[in-house]
Amino acid sequence: MQVEVLGSPDAVAARAARVVAEAAREAVAERGRFVFAFSGGRTPGAMLRALAAEDVPWSGVRIVQVDERVAPAGHADRNLTLLEANLLKSAPMDADQVYPMPVEAPDLDVGARDYERLLVGLAGSPPELDLVHLGLGTDGHAASLFPGDPALACEDADVTMSGVHAGRRRMTLTLPILNRARRLLWVVTGEAKAVMLRRLQAGDRSIPAGRLRADRVQLLADVAAARTR
């Protein structure tokens, strides 16, 4: 695991944007396409705004979701709303280059299977995502894989539904597809994440984040999250 500690959340966001842009250039040069899986959160908004100004081969970019809350289109709880507001309004890319999770589907389990098939079309069989952006929860969750949730134990699907957390169910990528990715990018900021960040770095498999691969991983944290005590 490659770890960088930066002075502020804004510095983390700017560095994360550069990492994503570099990965995009490499993937498009090598394979003609960059499949980027995006998580929600606070720092990612700044990351996306910075990414819009980076040197990115936008026509080759395809953005998928790591997870999404079951909520109406345009709702503030949706990670897609964050993505649209902070990247699509500024970057020279089309809306059809973004593939939202179908959380408005009448049957969410069918929607999850549909999204699996979409990922195969974008990233091969089994899908191998080029870069996955991840945040870290104060309870150690990553994506929408929460402690004790059945989604965390899902090994036979790449996309599944979680239980209810903070009032909403979520659609989420599972451990198998996350651990299959070419690269993982953790973006972690704030003192509230410090304890779980230490456990993540120690490879503590008792938290969901600790069950994700530790090789081909870049972790960006601010000084508050990286404090040692």
pLDDT in tens, 28-67: 999 999 999 999 877 799 999 999 999 999 999 999 999 9
205: how many CB neighbours lie within 10 A of its CB?
11
> Residue 229: which pLDDT band, with cuts at 50, 70 and 90?
low
Q: Which of 190, 210, 223, 217 is nearest to 133 (CA)?
A: 217
22 pLDDT above the threshold of 90: yes
- pTM value is 0.95
**Domains of the chain (ranges plus CATH)?**
2-222 (3.40.50.1360)
Q: What is the crossing angle of helices 9-31 and 43-51, to 10°?
A: 50
Residue whose structure tokens are 């996309």: 159
Q: In angstroms, how far apart are the furthest CA atoms of the chain?
A: 47
| DSSP one-letter code for 73 | T
pLDDT reported for residue 41: 76
Alpha carbons 217 and 67: distance in angstroms, whole number: 19
Q: 3-class DSSP state for residue 172?
A: strand
Span 75-132, pLDDT tens digits: 999 999 999 999 999 999 999 999 999 999 999 999 999 999 999 999 999 999 999 9
17 pLDDT above the threshold of 70: yes
Q: Which residue did the predictor score with more confidence, 227 or 219?
A: 219
| DSSP one-letter code for 219 | E
pLDDT reported for residue 124: 96
